[in-house]
Structure 1
Amino acid sequence: MNTLTHDDLVVTGTSRNAPAQIPVSGGQSWQGPASVWPDFLVGQPDQPVRVLLVDDDPHIRHVIAQELLADKRIHLVAQAGGFKEGRRRVAQQDFDVLLVDLNLGDGSGFELIEQVKSLRPMAEVVVISAIEDERHALHAFELGATGYLIKNSWFGSFSQAVLQVVNGGASITPNLARRLLHRLEGRPSDEPARTSKERLSDREREVLRMVAAGYTSGEIGVRLDISMQTVNAHVRNIYRKLRVRTRAQAVSCATERGLI
């Protein structure tokens, strides 16, 4: 029998090569199939995606940790069992993806999302929650999350969610995604046209295209022959006009609207 030890976790009876057993509704389990991972995607065995896991439920945290440890493309760098410990880990630990519950007992996962986006704006956030509520999901996305998984769902693949978000995608439990679509379909389709003040200028579009290509503010400034402060001013204007809070949200929103 193999035993894996990582930080505060000890996992017995599994290995990093073994497919994960994921709990689903009705006490059943689902075994994720092995997959071929192209070498051009982020998350290779020799350079795995670093994950920080924050959840105050020891059982759920153990199950998620087992799945992450079983995938060579992912490195579970640390865990936290509550809000205060999570804040400390976020401040001290280097990571690429935060997996976080919203109800942490001693605090809110929403606050941790805000902290991550302030300290580590390039890090991705995936919510893991027992609450299948559109308002909670939308608020998490507004704060910068790119994934929302419901615990004990038939579709709960935490490793896949991590790999999806670091490669530019999003991960939402299908049932919740459908509910969000229905919510959007209920909105009036004849929203008033945006005023000229809300439209992106040619320079703002140019900056946003370079943001989408992965350039930093300093690199954009050099290429456009403007100061980094001017670049950041354009980025702030883009945020305001698109009503977003992060670069990833700005790129996603502009792409959906055909602005870039």
Structure 2
Amino acid sequence: MHQSPPVIWPDFLAGQTAKPVRVLLVDDDAHMRQVIAQELMADARTLLVAQAASVREGRRAIKQHEFDVMLADIHLGDGEGLSLIDYMKSIRPSAEAIVISIMENDDQVLHAFELGATGYLVKNSWFGNYPQAVLQVANGGASITPHLARRLLQRFDGNGASAAAHAPRRAEHETERLSQREKEVLRMVASGYTSTEIGTRLLISGLTVNTHIKSIYRKLQVRTRAQAVRFASLRGLF
């Protein structure tokens, strides 16, 4: 039995019952697709608009369907699901991507984030939480298991300083330092908070938070939140 979605869902968040978050699901495991599909359809805040079982079908679905979030298996029968992220960004740049996998692999996670993914879920540990992950990324957050997040942070702690020391220096205008407020915002982005949640905690508006995030992107010369967090960690900016 699936649990019903919470009765109270703030009207300023994406995923209202009258306008649910639209999802494209790509997985070559028919049973897994069924499990995820049932969870998404059981929550009135998410709407499954299409399914695909291969890279080829996924590319076709990306072109044919309007959607907000793509859930894609990392390994598909005819290729890598990660290749769909870049294709999706070229066709539907406002859509978000969540990678799903049967295992936690640090290098794969980092590569997925570098390509523009905003979530990485391990199948066996996320039953019952796919709608939650979709809603989280649709509202500006990131979705990753706490265990994997801790491992990645420890990896940054161990390798960040040496990587930063050997990173090629950019021109001065490209390495403009982040302000203290921007570092504060970036730390909260790294923790998975949405713009609205960051604004509430810092006592500023969500619009101001987004202005800070755009400034962070410009200073670090990145395009996604995941890229900003990784670059800042490697360069020792926080």
| CA RMSD after TM alignment | 3.5
**Closer, same or farther in 2 for the Cα pair 1:243/1:129, shift >3 Å?**
farther
Change (3 A) 1:155 1:187: farther
Other-structure match for 1:29:
none
Which of 198, 212, 221 lines up with 2:210 in the alignment?
A: 212
2:3 alignment partner AA: P
1:184-215 CA deviation, whole Å, 9 max, x = no partner?
1112447448651432499xx9xxx999359x
In structure 2, relative to structure 1, the CA distance for the partners of 1:38 and 1:255 (3 Å cut) is: farther
SS for the counterpart of 1:78 is: strand
Partner of residue 128, structure 1: 100
Identify the residue that residue 199 of structure 2 maps to in structure 1: none
Match of 1:228 in 2: none
- Please list the CA deviations of residues 80-136 of structure 1 after superposition, one character each: whole Å capped at 9, or x if unmatched: 011111110011110000000010111111110110111111100011111310000
Q: How does 1:18-57 map to 2 (within 5 A)?
A: 18-19=2-3, 34=6, 36-57=8-29
Number of aligned residues: 203
- Aligned residue among 80, 85, 96 for 1:108: 80
Match status 1:118 vs 2:93: no
Closer, same or farther in 2 for the Cα pair 1:255/1:34, shift >3 Å?
Answer: farther
1:96 equivalent to 2:48? Answer no
Question: Residues of 1 paired with 2:19 and 2:112: CA distance?
Answer: 28
Tell me: CA distance 1:155–1:52, structure 2 relative to 1, closer, same or farther (3 Å).
closer
> Cα gap change, 1:156/1:255 in structure 2, threshold over 3 Å: closer, same or farther?
farther
Distance 1:136 1:199 in 2: 27
Q: 2: CA distance between counterparts of 1:159 and 1:60?
A: 15
Counterparts of 1:194 and 1:156, CA distance in 2: 45
- The sequence identity of aligned pairs, in percent, is 54
Deviation beyond 3 Å, 4+ runs, structure 1: 188-195, 209-214, 247-257
Given that 1:212 and 1:251 are in contact with CA atoms closer than 8 Å, whether structure 2 keeps it comes out as no
Matched, 1:242 2:220: yes
Unpaired runs of at least 5, structure 2? 183-206
Q: Which has the higher contact order (CA 8 A, sep 6+)?
A: 2
TM-score using structure 2 length:
0.73
CA contact (8 A) 2:74 2:80 kept: yes
Contact residue 125 and residue 146 of structure 1 kept, 8 A = yes
TM-score by structure 1 length?
0.67
- Cα distance in structure 1, aligned partners of 2:126 and 2:227: 31
**2:121–2:145 CA contact under 8 A, matched in 1:** yes
Aligned-partner residue type, residue 175 of structure 2: R
**Distance of 2:66 and 2:50 partners within structure 1:** 9
Residue 173 (structure 1) aligns with: 145
1:83 and 2:55 aligned: yes
The one-character-per-residue Cα deviations of 1:52-107 (angstroms, maximum 9, x if unpaired) are 00000011110000000000001100000111111100111100000000101111
Structure whose CA Rg is larger: 1
2:209, 2:155 → 1: CA distance? 30
Is the CA contact 2:43–2:131 (under 8 Å) kept in the aligned structure 1? yes
Taking structure 1 as reference, are residues 55 and 68 closer, same or farther at Cα in structure 2, changes over 3 Å only? Answer: same
Alignment-mate amino acid for residue 129 of structure 1: S
For structure 1, list consecutive stretches of 5 or more residues without a partner in the other structure.
1-13, 21-32, 217-233
The answer to whether 1:70 aligns with 2:42 is yes
